[in-house]
Amino acid sequence: MKIGVIGVGRLGKDCAEVMAESGHEVSGYDVAQFESESITRVDTIKELVQGKDFIFVSVPTPHDPAYDGSTPAMHLEPKDFNYDIATSVIAEANTHMNSDQTIILISTVMPGTIRNQIIPLVTNTKFVYNPYLIAMGTIRWDMVNPEMIMIGTDDGSEIGIAKDLSDFYSSFMENNPRVVVGTWEEIETTKMFYNTFISTKVVLTNMILDVAVKVGNINVDVVTDALSACDMRLLSPSYMTAGMADGGSCHPRDNIAMRWLAKEYDLGYDLFDAVMSAREAQAKNMANMIVSQAKLHNMDVIIVGKAYKADVEYIHGSGSLLVGHYIEQDGVVLNYYDIHTGDLYQSEVPAVYLLAHNFGKISPQNTTNSVIIPDGSVVIDPWRQYVNDNCTVIHFGNTRTLQ
């Protein structure tokens, strides 16, 4: 098929290249320069849409930077996303398109946005809402192995345009994913609750960690292992390892946006206020413990892992930065070590280390992105896997004393 992609950035470029490498003819337009061996770059939206079957719109629907979750945000007024970029490019594309073509928006929007703000702009062509379940750092794999494909149409019909799009994806999907077709509102809601369900799960799991610390004689992993095996009602073991705060460019901001939805539609309660308050309180609890160790031993603090997860460069919504915010509030000297973000601080004297990323089973010989931890340091591991006989290691969340 002949495909156009508006927005060839962190997400759009990899997705467009996957389409092109599977045999489709793909052109791309972006306000920023980009290079690709498989995508034809064009200079205008008008040129991009000419003769294309599908036009995918992969542009940001951002919040203010203060809302990304890497610093406390609960004091801020709940806001919807900003749709200015999306509405602008969709309106322009529509002027150059016809009824045989289709605009496909993959960006995240709040329930009700498509019908109220997008559809009035689409007068000449067809429209589908098709949000992706893709994480930064694994875009290409996620693109061809999605948990599901979500297709939103006006009436939720599974024939016509929905089938055409489903057939397109079947040409390069590797895991034969299920296809969920619904109305625009149903798919908007599915995407938002998919992300915020994960956030809720992380917060609830980390609450078990806090209970373990407060009550004592509890290894949090015994509890979460028991619960994660309950696949009849708790769905799956994913995200059931207690540790750092939920992070990334989607989850914190989506929970904040859902607070706006609860207020906008007067639901009478705000679950996501509690989720985001809990997220920040959990980060502060961890920071308080780290600060207590730093002051007890008169040491600086080093957080190993600045990005929002291991092996990526993205710091948006980083739980590490949120914990760091509270540490610095207490006047403790703080540095970061993360080769992917360019933070390479190494201490020559013992310090308090927080292993912010889950690197799996690690030891001084197989440690965290080659950071050197001096003997005599205090190592706080919220994933409860690090072993080092030359340091004081705290498996945060495991307070079991009876063996």
Residue 117 belongs to a domain: yes
Instruction: Verify that 115 and 230 share a domain, yes or no.
Output: no
Residue 72 belongs to a domain: no
Average pLDDT estimate for 328-340: 96
CATH code of 380's domain: 3.40.50.720
What does residue 70 show for φ and ψ, rounded to 5 degrees? Answer: -85, -10
Closest CA to 380 of 353, 358, 351, 359: 353
Instruction: Verify that 288 and 156 share a domain, yes or no.
Output: no
Instruction: Verify that 237 and 212 share a domain, yes or no.
Output: yes
The predicted model scores a pTM of: 0.79
Q: Note the pLDDT of residue 403.
A: 41
Residue 21 belongs to a domain: yes
CA distance 369 to 315: 16
> Does the structure show a pLDDT above 80 at 343?
yes
Average pLDDT estimate for 188-204: 91
Q: Range of 317's domain?
A: 182-403
Domain limit, last residue, from 176, 203, 225: 176
> Does the structure show a pLDDT above 60 at 189?
yes
Alpha-helical (H) ranges within 40-132 are 45-49, 84-95, 113
Give the Cα-Cα-Cα angle 329, 332, 335 (nearest 5 degrees): 105
Instruction: Verify that 385 and 272 share a domain, yes or no.
Output: yes
Domain limit, last residue, from 120, 143, 176: 176
Domain limit, last residue, from 113, 147, 176: 176
Average pLDDT estimate for 23-28: 97
What counts of helices (H) and strands (E) characterise the chain? 11, 14
Residue 67 belongs to a domain: no
Average pLDDT estimate for 275-280: 92
Closest CA to 283 of 224, 315, 328: 328
Q: What percent of the chain has pLDDT over 70?
A: 97
Average pLDDT estimate for 220-235: 88
Q: Note the pLDDT of residue 388.
A: 92
Average pLDDT estimate for 120-142: 95
